[in-house]
Structure 1
Amino acid sequence: MIKKSLLPLALGGFGIGMTEFVMMGLLPDIASGLAVSIPQAGYLITAYAIGVVVGAPTLVSLMAKRPPRNVLIWFMLMFALFNALSALAPNFGLMLVSRFLAGLPHGAFFGVGAVVASRLADEGKVAAAMATMFTGLTLANVVGVPLGTWLGHNMSWRLVFLIVAAIGLVTAFSLKQLVPFFGANPSGGFRKDLKIFRSRALWLALAITSIGTGGFFAWFSYIAPLLTDVSRFAPGQIPLIMTVVGVGMTVGVNVGGRLADRFAPIRAIVILLASMTALLLLNGLLAASQPTMLVLAFATGANALALGPPIQMLLIDHSREAEMLGSSLGQSGFNIGNATGAFLGGIPLTLGYSYASPQWVAAGLAVTGMVLSLAMLMLRRPPALARRGR
């Protein structure tokens, strides 16, 4: 039974997931509406990602001395305002600015939300509570993104962003009504929070996040041409397969929560990055088989989002002096992984290789993340007492 106090976090995750991922399906409509090319419209996705990377640590540090619930409400009000500006933007320049601004509260909301979820969780179910918040993000891929894409094609892409803004307002109201009040951290502050960056373990955790998840994004960025050119699916079948990926994400985030509650977060990450590497290799090797690719679409999506809860727990574990800032860095890491994976995965395509080639890059990123995770695991182990005869 999901606690009512966790539902506003899931709703906020739904709105954030919808505004981030619906852009991929609406690019042609937005490009046409703003009289720019599709590649130019693609900069709107980049602007949002940069907003996430900048906003996550900055907003959380600036709000460190304020009660977490109040901070979440402010973030959702910002989210609603900037998405409304996206809906009303009269030209490409203002749309670019509004997408950057809309990205600012994204990572900050998840960072503070993860800490609030951990305080609301029952004993031994911290990761499961965090998974509830991320379930909203995954459900956005199953319901919100397909619906938003349909509305954008058949009515207006501006309507989609107005709906997202409305979701932000409803989330802010539900946070006020359902989430209990927690006192602020009196010792928090921008300068004090920055001290967590002295930790080598935190930097290693960020590297694991940015590089390891880059494998998923190298796969996800080029999944459509892989399925149409190599697997020979019809273009009209791609939205259905993307829904399969979204369902996998929804299942995976809950599995990841349970896995992180059962094992130490870093152990769960090692397991999940190892399985991610295997799945990405299979995507490249078996891309010609349509039935196999359907199964792999579900499994790869599930594996990717299963990484969310243990990564959040790992970052919080290594930033106890400023846990909201540390937790928010997870979304910065994911978006760095997004940019890195998409860029590196595209290199073999520019060299003339097939659409299966990004899978090898993806697997390389995932296995690099796994090696870094193993290194962190080894560093955390106490020295063995090699005493013979006892």
Structure 2
Amino acid sequence: MPSALWALALSAFGIGTTEFVIAGLLPQVAADFNISIPQAGNLATVYALGVFVGAPLLIILGTRIPRKGMLMLLMSLFVIGNLVTATASDFNIALLGRLVTSLTHGAFFGIGAILAADLVAPNKRVQAISFMFSGLTVANLVGVPVGTWLSQVMSWRDTFYAITAVGVLGFIGVMMLVPKIANHERPQIKKEFAAFANVRVLLAMGITVFGPAAFFTSITYIAPMMVEIAKFDPASVTWLMVVFGLGLFLGNILGGRYADKALMPLMYLTLGAQAIVLLIFSQTAHSQIMSVACILLMAGFGFATVSPIQKLVMDKARAAGAPTLASAVNIGLFNLGNAIGAWVGGFVISAGLGYAAPNWAGALLSVIALLLALASGAMDRRDGAPSVLQTA
């Protein structure tokens, strides 16, 4: 793989860590600011909503900036946002820091996915995108558990200081390793926005929203769920996040390896399996063994859809004339799904349905994603659309 992909993966590692580590920090954040855990969960919700809004906004504002320069600007925002969160004197400032950080996410992965695909041969584009996204999986395998552990032995603020340092390294990596590649063409904004009325694009983006929302509904509240229901020691949350990260890592390999061969069948399998695992988890959260198994499988099936969904949206959007904007917007939609999931999980807990309730709520969201995928596949078969099994 080109060295530039390592810089993209390192930055993705930092972004993935800051996004997901909050799930292991909620009890400490809530105690520090003297708020409830569902209220602390707003740090995840605000981040996700910021990604959703920031992705298209920054793509539009950055149309005249070379991709390398834009990536460096985004990593600068990442460093500033995490530093604000780490030094926040009250919860509202912490929310502001998360919002600033979130502006990096969608645009970075949207531009990075296009850049990664351009750096390799056409038949290796999904693998290149998957390699960049591997930073997210390594973040959950290493960054999130280490960040959770750091918050327990020191403080949650030190976790964000460490993430800030990773952001600085990411900035340096992009500056030194990413080549100066001129944008092939500036996005035609009116044309790209018009493409969002395309039913195929909308269906693909709907899968993007509800697929990740399913497992984020559960994982956002995994710390209180495992401590209160499964009776794990609070210190065990660290290695439970390792299990979650391992699931994401394996899922990313699965999605990257088989998406080029059977994209839609893979999505049917993973979305359906995710729904089943979450439903089982809702009934077995009291069991430590079953909880570990469900966390692993939930993460694996959930993340196996990420690279395939991104490829699906890019293919549909390219055919409809919106490759650049749709790529970034789709990353935002992943996080809109995360926001929906975090909100739904907090809602069912606040409604008094218990800490296991986010699991069955997530199963329902996964079923919605599966139905949208089935509808998309049926439309392709009915209209004889070009196969998404082929690499663009």
* C-alpha distance 345-152 of structure 1, shift in aligned 2 (>3 A): closer
User: Match for residue 218 of structure 2?
Assistant: 219
Gaps of 5+ in 2: 385-392
- Say whether the 8 Å CA contact 1:75–1:109 is kept in structure 2: yes
* C-alpha distance 238-44 of structure 1, shift in aligned 2 (>3 A): closer
* C-alpha distance 263-84 of structure 1, shift in aligned 2 (>3 A): same
User: Match for residue 319 of structure 1?
Assistant: 317
- Say whether the 8 Å CA contact 1:217–1:338 is kept in structure 2: yes
Deviations 1:41-63 (A, max 9, x none): 44333322221111111101221
Q: Which moved more, 1:156-165 or 1:102-111?
A: 156-165
- Say whether the 8 Å CA contact 2:33–2:90 is kept in structure 1: yes
Deviations 1:75-115 (A, max 9, x none): 11221122223333444433322221111111111111111
Structure 1 counterpart of 2:238, which letter?
A: P
- Say whether the 8 Å CA contact 2:5–2:116 is kept in structure 1: yes
- Say whether the 8 Å CA contact 2:45–2:338 is kept in structure 1: no
Matches within 5 A, 1:1-390: 2-31=1-30, 40-264=39-263, 266-320=264-318, 321-350=321-350, 352-382=352-382
- Say whether the 8 Å CA contact 1:60–1:108 is kept in structure 2: yes
* C-alpha distance 106-355 of structure 1, shift in aligned 2 (>3 A): same
Structure 2 counterpart of 1:380, which letter?
A: D
Structure 2 distance, partners of 1:348, 1:286, is: 18
Structure 2 distance, partners of 1:189, 1:9, is: 26
Structure 1 distance, partners of 2:358, 2:71, is: 37
Offset, 1:259 = 1.6
Q: Which moved more, 1:71-80 or 1:342-351?
A: 342-351
Deviations 1:100-132 (A, max 9, x none): 111111111111111111112334222221111
Deviations 1:303-332 (A, max 9, x none): 111111011111111222332321122222
- Say whether the 8 Å CA contact 2:149–2:238 is kept in structure 1: no
- Say whether the 8 Å CA contact 1:208–1:369 is kept in structure 2: yes
SS of match in other structure, 1:128: helix
- Say whether the 8 Å CA contact 1:62–1:190 is kept in structure 2: no
Offset, 1:14 = 0.9
TM-score calculated relative to the size of structure 1: 0.88
Q: Which moved more, 1:252-261 or 1:217-226?
A: 217-226
- Say whether the 8 Å CA contact 1:125–1:261 is kept in structure 2: no
Structure 2 distance, partners of 1:182, 1:191, is: 24
- Say whether the 8 Å CA contact 2:23–2:222 is kept in structure 1: no
User: Match for residue 389 of structure 2?
Assistant: none
Offset, 1:12 = 0.8
- Say whether the 8 Å CA contact 2:55–2:103 is kept in structure 1: yes
Deviations 1:140-176 (A, max 9, x none): 2222222223333433444333332222222122123
* C-alpha distance 146-290 of structure 1, shift in aligned 2 (>3 A): closer
Structure 1 distance, partners of 2:346, 2:97, is: 27
Q: Percent identity?
A: 38
Structure 2 distance, partners of 1:238, 1:372, is: 34
TM-score calculated relative to the size of structure 2: 0.87
Structure 2 distance, partners of 1:51, 1:12, is: 18
Offset, 1:351 = 5.1
- Say whether the 8 Å CA contact 1:64–1:189 is kept in structure 2: no
* C-alpha distance 92-221 of structure 1, shift in aligned 2 (>3 A): closer
Structure 2 distance, partners of 1:160, 1:237, is: 17
Offset, 1:343 = 3.2
